[in-house]
Amino acid sequence: MLTQMFVFSPRLIRNLNLHILEAHRLPFKLVSNPYCVVSLNQVNVEKTRVKTIPDPVWEEEFVLDDIPPDVVTVTITVLSKGKRGKDSEVAELIVGLCGLKNGQETEEWYPLIGMTPMGEWGSIRLSIRYLNDLVMPCDEYSPLQQLLVEAELNAVRALFEIYHNDRIPLATSLLKVFRYEKKPNC
């Protein structure tokens, strides 16, 4: 009889939550019906709906899970929907994943770079949350888990006292720990 032994090794989790909000000051003579294409290392993965100018508002959110380790950039390309199916690339923004703060949401205006050298190409407002985490085997977490679920919840209170900015990731993680505590095994 052959028994299988599973060895849990650490695994890397990389997720990107990208919210394409709006653009302004797009060159209206070149961009009549703009939309955006999201690419990871030049591979198209998502697309917004086509909007009208002068200042398109998309407010579309994309959740990109399990990003491969070789992906280092996310590119947002602004295209203009053409007649007879001929769309043209107008401008783009390239964001390096290594420049994003892990686990923190940032919302800001980014300047667009035109496909041809010309004056100003406008800007795009994005909200980005990038998560780059190493998940260890279950037994690595058991001492911390026991500390967090103790009856008085002192460790949980201490975490909330020192973590002021964005408590959503902390609350989400703690909720997972408490849900897991009700399960018998990993």
Most confident region among 17-26, 28-37, 169-178 by mean pLDDT? 17-26
The tokens describing 50, both together, are 């086509």
**130 or 115, which is more confident:** 130
Task: Give the SS3 label for residue 17.
Answer: strand
C-alpha 49/C-alpha 39 separation (Å) is: 15
**2 pLDDT tier (thresholds 50, 70, 90):** low
Provide long-range contacts, Cβ within 8 A and 24+ apart, for 150-153.
none
Distance in angstroms (rounded) separating the CA atoms of residues 109 and 107: 7
Position 163 scores a pLDDT of: 77
Predicted local distance difference test score (pLDDT) of residue 6: 54
Alpha-carbon gap, residue 52 to 98, rounded angstroms: 33
- What average pLDDT score do residues 22-32 get? 88
Domains and CATH numbers, the chain: 11-134 (2.60.40.150), 137-182 (no CATH)
Which of 121, 104, 103 is closest to 112 using CA atoms?
Answer: 121
Tell which residue, 98, 77, 125, has the closest CA to residue 14. Answer: 98
Task: Name 77's bridge partners.
Answer: 37, 92
- Return the DSSP state at 14: E
Neighbours of 22 (CB within 10 A): 15
Compute the distance between CA of residue 53 and CA of residue 125 in angstroms, rounded to an integer: 15
Q: What does the CA dihedral 67, 69, 72, 76 come to, rounded to 10 degrees?
A: -10
